Amino acid sequence: MRKNIYLTLILVMPVFIHVSKGQNQDSLVIRKMYTEALTNPVGYKNLDYLCTRIGGRLCGTAKAKEAVQYVKKLLEGMKLDTVYLQPVMVKHWERGNKETARIISKQKGKKDLHVCALGTSIGTGDTGIKADVVEVHSFNDLKTIGRSGIEGKIVFFNRAADESRINTFESYGGAVDQRARGAMQAARYKALAVIVRSATTAHDNFPHTGVQHYADTVKPIPAMCVSTNDADLLSLWLKEDPSLKLSMMMNCRDLPEEPSSNVIGEIRGSEHPEEVIVFGGHLDSWDIGEGAHDDGTGVVQTIDILRIYKALGIKPKHTLRVVAFMDEEMAQRGAAAYAEMVKKKVEKHIGAIEADRGGATPWGFSIDASDQQINKIKSWKPFFAPYNLWFIEKGGSGVDIRDLKSQGTPLIGLVTDPQRYFDYHHCANDTYDKVNPRELELGAAGMAELVYLIDTYGL
């Protein structure tokens, strides 16, 4: 027996020591990644440029073109192995220079509201729209009220985001149907236009825009959003004076599609250059803010993964690729084009990561992959724990990478503290100064760590 035990020890120990050394080595590399991110705020400076020098960059606009050129130049300056643009045609919707709404009440007086057009909305025409208002809280309300109560009126969607939810993405998810499909639904009942309560947990004066969709089968009607404070006010005034009128004016419009690009940069893999770990955020943003948390942060954080690799001189085994996706907000053309390219080239992607939930403190990763792959990432929890990345769960990833799902790629979304995100989302409040450099840098380091572990141990 004794002999056998010794034999077992001899056989097992070298392996144990090897693994332990490897893991210690990993821990040291990972620690260096965080130090590099936290002490060298290049990502934060890049965000500054993207937000305060360029600003809001709606796809199809000159600002979006400027952003493409800026990121291309930025990547070219990083001595990567490859930098290129992937062409993609995008919609070009123009907000115009008029978007107003005013309550006119004989009893209560007049009140201008904080409003803005929803993305893809048609304008009101030069004379605007002036009509009665019917407040609803769901598409079912439309059905209950019926055409007789809606025709010729402005429908006011006023179901609030549920503040009692712990995760604000659920609050948003429970309200955003009004923005996305309100006009399409109200048009079926011959409404003249819709005004939609902003899909946010914040109580503020910012209208929070976002894309909305028309149906081919119904006539498009103008769609605008109103700040939560003003939605409360409009609702209150309507209770006191149901006969009040709302006048609306918008000169937003569609223009011909424009050529644009995803921006791509790579470090070639030393052992498996044909296998790719891809990561990115989306470069386009809404026009009324600076596109800071949505999604300038995701863009500069994922670029910073490559910067960290270069700064520390780490040579990845697999090809590491950053993509600044174009047109997440409007029609996800960049995402579709990227997935199409991967399919055509039969490129093997061993992992895809998106950062598009705001640049607040990272919590961990939401993973859309097999149970085996999820468990593998969970087995790395000891590596994540020192950096407070505690959330590693099955769940959605990101809009720009989800088309890779059909090719079997494990998809991962960076999960960040969600409490403040919808204070900024799609509104003029989404500005550079709302991003904390440390929170941003921790997110970049957290993804660099995950990329390192995938590159080292596979998925």
Which stretches of 63-137 are assigned E, i.e. beta strand? 82-94, 99-105, 109-112, 115-117, 129-136
How many CA within 13 A on the CB side of residue 316?
Answer: 33
Q: What residue has token string 């590491």?
A: 320
Minimal distance, residue 161 CB to a second copy, in Å: 11
Stretch of 132-140, 315-323, 346-354, 432-440 contacting a second copy, by CB under 8 A: 432-440
C-alpha distances (whole Å) from 244 to each of 110, 148, 236, 239, 316 are 10, 18, 11, 10, 65
For 358-386, give the DSSP string.
-SS-EEEEEEES-HHHHHHHHTTHHHHGG
Q: In terms of CB distance, is 183 or 300 closer to a second copy?
A: 300
Based on the shown chain and the rule CB under 8 A, indicate whether residue 172 belongs to the binding site for a second copy.
no
Q: In terms of CB distance, is 44 or 325 closer to a second copy?
A: 44
For 412-458, give the DSSP string.
EEEEE--TTHHHHTTSTT--GGGS-HHHHHHHHHHHHHHHHHHHHH-
Judge whether 272 and 105 are in contact, CB under 8 Å: no
Beta-bridge partners for 109: 105
Q: In terms of CB distance, is 93 or 384 closer to a second copy?
A: 384
**Positions in 362-391 near a second copy (CB under 8 A):** 363, 386-388, 390-391
CA distance 341 to 196: 38
Q: Which of 158, 168, 227, 373 binds a second copy (CB under 8 A)?
A: 168
Q: In terms of CB distance, is 16 or 390 closer to a second copy?
A: 390
Judge whether 390 and 364 are in contact, CB under 8 Å: yes
Q: Which of 158, 178, 200, 201 binds a second copy (CB under 8 A)?
A: 201
Q: In terms of CB distance, is 445 or 454 closer to a second copy?
A: 445
Q: In terms of CB distance, is 150 or 160 closer to a second copy?
A: 160
Q: In terms of CB distance, is 34 or 286 closer to a second copy?
A: 34
Minimal distance, residue 417 CB to a second copy, in Å: 5
What is the biggest distance separating any 2 CA atoms in the chain, rounded to whole angstroms? 100
Stretch of 78-86, 97-105, 162-170, 350-358 contacting a second copy, by CB under 8 A: 162-170
Judge whether 196 and 224 are in contact, CB under 8 Å: yes
Minimal distance, residue 200 CB to a second copy, in Å: 11
Q: What are the residues whose beta carbons fall under 8 Å from the beta carbon of 236, sequence distance 6 or more?
A: none
Query: Per-residue x/- mask for a second copy, residues 2 to 41, rule CB under 8 A?
Result: --------------------------------xx--xx--
**Positions in 35-64 near a second copy (CB under 8 A):** 35, 38-39
Judge whether 117 and 223 are in contact, CB under 8 Å: yes
Q: In terms of CB distance, is 420 or 426 closer to a second copy?
A: 420
Query: Per-residue x/- mask for a second copy, residues 328 to 367, rule CB under 8 A?
Result: ---------------------------------x-x----
Query: Per-residue x/- mask for a second copy, residues 407 to 426, rule CB under 8 A?
Result: ----------x-xx--x---
Tell me the three state secondary structure of residue 329.
coil
Q: In terms of CB distance, is 379 or 388 closer to a second copy?
A: 388
Reference 424, options 412, 436, 442; nearest CA is 436
Size, binding site for a second copy by CB under 8 A: 24
Based on the shown chain and the rule CB under 8 A, indicate whether residue 164 belongs to the binding site for a second copy.
yes
Q: Which of 81, 163, 371, 433 binds a second copy (CB under 8 A)?
A: 163
Minimal distance, residue 228 CB to a second copy, in Å: 13
C-alpha distances (whole Å) from 332 to each of 17, 90, 215, 401, 408 are 48, 9, 18, 10, 20
Minimal distance, residue 439 CB to a second copy, in Å: 5
Judge whether 266 and 321 are in contact, CB under 8 Å: yes
Judge whether 296 and 111 are in contact, CB under 8 Å: no
For residue 153 the two structure tokens come to: 């009126």
**Positions in 433-452 near a second copy (CB under 8 A):** 436, 438-439, 442
Q: Give the binding site for a second copy (CB under 8 A).
A: 34-35, 38-39, 163-164, 166, 168, 201, 361, 363, 386-388, 390-391, 417, 419-420, 423, 436, 438-439, 442
